[in-house]
Amino acid sequence: MIDRRTLMTTSLATLTLFGAGCSVPSKPGGDGADSMLLADGYEPDSLNPLLGYAHAGAAKFYDGLMAFDGKGSLLPALAAEPPVADEDARRWTVKLRGDVTFHDGTPFDAEDVVATYRAAIDPAYASTISSNFDMLDRVEALDPHTVRFDLKYPYVPWPARMVLGIVPAEKLAEPAPLTNSELNTKPVGTGPYQLVEWRQGERMVWRGNPDYWGGAPAIGEVTVVFATDDNTRAQRVRSGEFDGTVLPPVLAERVGTDSYRTVHHDTADYRAITLPSTHPVTGDPTVRTALNLAANRDGMIDALLGGHGIPGHTPIPPSMDRYHEPTARFAFDRKRAKGMLDAGGWRPGPDGVRRRGGQRAEFTVMYFADDSLRKQLAVAFASDAGEVGIEVRPAGVDRTEAASRIGTDAIVLGGGNPLDPDLQMYDSLHSSVIGTGTYNNPAQYRNAAVDAALDRGRHTTDSARRARYYKQAQTAYVADPGLVYLAFIQHSYVMRTGAWNGYEPVIEPHTHGTTWGPWWNVEDWTPQR
């Protein structure tokens, strides 16, 4: 039988945290080493997995059939063993654990899995993650502890879609939109923690699940305080109030002291500039390539991230090493960029901005007004574009306005999921997803060679061939780019030292904060005594 604690790979060494404790408060979390007080800059809108909560895993209130091991692999969680596929990866059979109960005491079985996945694809429930499961045709229970998934087409990455948190079938008995579901604020799952309090806008309290199938967490209570301002969180950490928080990398480095450790995690989380294909400037292939050559990625990382990131050229980061193509990259070469623009008919005007015919080389790059890093990247990109004669106007907008303009104006885009290259590339670049979601290929990029390689990658069962196809997709993309990938950013945290054992580094998705970061496996931590 697979225990929750066996999900950790032996190649990740468990680290003991050393250092003197801070005198204020006298005990971590205020109540002893079996409790923890954290601060987060982000508060979820909903705690319902079918409305997007913890879609990349690490859901403290829920378990999926599979779980991320922290490095890039998946291992069974509510599944008793790895899922078994037929020869063309269209039918997947999963054996389930038999020793699991939900937080409300009801037993977990195949009907709960069936109900959860059916709700994900049934329009009656209006699940916001339905597009993630377009490949799912049917799911059925073969017996109380066996489930079979039938897919519309061969889809090798299916296990990466099995981190979805499972909810009780009883909570989905009525096929109605989930906007009013009680799971949105009162989660009922099988996870290691239960929600005991949520004062929206203020704090959330998790309590260890005493009946958790992987063993009751030794850290029995975790309180998360929501504080959106980075500087405020940093000041409160300096005063000793919190046991840890997420911060921008440069600020995190300043907060680290003898009582707090600063850690930076590698990620699949990219920042990129979309280049809408329908725009008269950004839709021009010459302009797209020239902008990729003009972007000083290393300079941005050094100046804005304090060196805590790596240049991005395609959606696949070096942390996904077996799928990463290191030759698929753009040199920083402004001279070449200017030459390409000249040859493409974009000639400097009297004000230094290029023109072709009656079209001025100018466009807007939106960024979320409440995201300081995206603003800084937009400004830096605009400066680099200006060096080669293209005028870029940064514009801070709210998310509603961004969604309405994303097809016509460029935007600083963020995303990433290390579970599988299909999740990292397909929805960003494949032409078939255009129009299926606000952030699915928002630039409306079309490239037949990229499409073909991505299709082969998701359908091919041989792992070596899959890797080759994703590398081919990256090579084809660099020959005809549709965005300017700037960087894969590290996520930065500070955490109290000298209180707990169990910290392990993790490769993180775009989603981060207190459910990820150092605390992604907090259910496996133990107090130092």
SS3 493: strand
CA–CA separation, 59 vs 288, rounded Å?
Answer: 38
* Residue 431 pLDDT greater than 50, yes or no: yes
Q: What is the mean pLDDT of residues 159-185?
A: 96
Average pLDDT, integer, range 322-337: 97
pLDDT at residue 31, rounded to an integer: 53
Q: What is the pLDDT of residue 32?
A: 63
For residue 7, pLDDT over 90 is answered with no
Place of tokens 């070469």: 333
Predicted confidence (pLDDT) at residue 3 exceeds the cutoff of 60: no
* pLDDT reported for residue 10: 30
At which residue do the structure tokens 């269209």 appear?
A: 90
Question: What's the CATH class of domain 270-489?
Answer: alpha beta
Fold of 45-186: Dipeptide-binding Protein; domain 1 (3.90.76)
Distance CA 164, CA 141 (A): 17
Q: Are 181 and 188 in contact (CB under 8 A)?
A: no
pLDDT tens, residue by residue, 459-505: 999 999 999 999 999 999 999 999 999 999 999 999 999 899 999 99
Judging by DSSP bridges, how do beta strands 270-274 and 483-489 pair with one another? antiparallel
Rounded CA gap, 21 and 32, in Å? 12
pLDDT band, very low/low/confident/very high, at 372 (cuts 50, 70, 90): confident
Is the per-residue pLDDT at 205 higher than 90?
Answer: yes
Using CB atoms within 10 A of its CB, is residue 62 exposed (0-12), middle (13-18) or buried (19+)?
Answer: buried
What is the reported pLDDT for 14?
Answer: 28
What's the gap between Cα 252 and its chain centre?
Answer: 20
CATH 3.90.76.10 spans which residues of the chain? 45-186
Q: What is the pLDDT of residue 393?
A: 98
The secondary structure element, H or E, covering residue 298 is helix 297-305
What is the mean predicted confidence (pLDDT) over 447-466?
96
Q: Is the pLDDT of residue 450 over 80?
A: yes
Q: Is the confidence at residue 12, as pLDDT, over 50?
A: no
* Residue 217 scores a pLDDT above 70: yes
Q: Residue holding tokens 């500070």?
A: 494
| Start-end of CATH 3.10.105.10 domains in the chain | 270-489
Mean pLDDT, all residues of the chain = 92
Q: Kindly tell me the burial class for residue 526, based on how many C-beta atoms sit within 10 Å of its own C-beta (0-12, 13-18, 19 or more).
A: middle
Q: Which is higher by pLDDT, 84 or 55? A: 84
- In the block, tokens 């209570």 appear at 221
Closest by Cα among 424, 427, 275 to 363: 275
3-state secondary structure string across 422-480: HHHHHHHHCHHHCCCCCCCCCCCCCCHHHHHHHHHHHHCCCHHHHHHHHHHHHHHHHHC
Q: Determine the pLDDT at residue 9.
A: 34
Give 155-217 as a 3 state SS string.
CCCHHHHHHCCCCCHHHHCCCCCHHHCHHHCCCCCCCCEEEEEEECCCEEEEEECCCCCCCCC
Model confidence pTM above 0.85: yes
> What is the rounded distance in angstroms from the CA atom of residue 309 to the CA atom of residue 486?
10
Please write the tens of the pLDDT for every residue from 95-142.
Answer: 999 999 999 999 999 999 999 999 999 999 999 999 999 999 999 999
pLDDT tens figures, 379-412: 999 999 999 999 999 999 999 999 999 999 999 9
Q: Exposed, middle or buried by CB within 10 Å (0-12, 13-18, 19+), for 66?
A: buried
pLDDT at 29 over 60: no
- Rounded Cα distance, 24 and 236, in Å: 11
- 1: pLDDT strictly greater than 70: no
Distances (CA, A) of 395 to 276, 284, 287: 16, 22, 20
Tokens encoding 142 = 């073969």
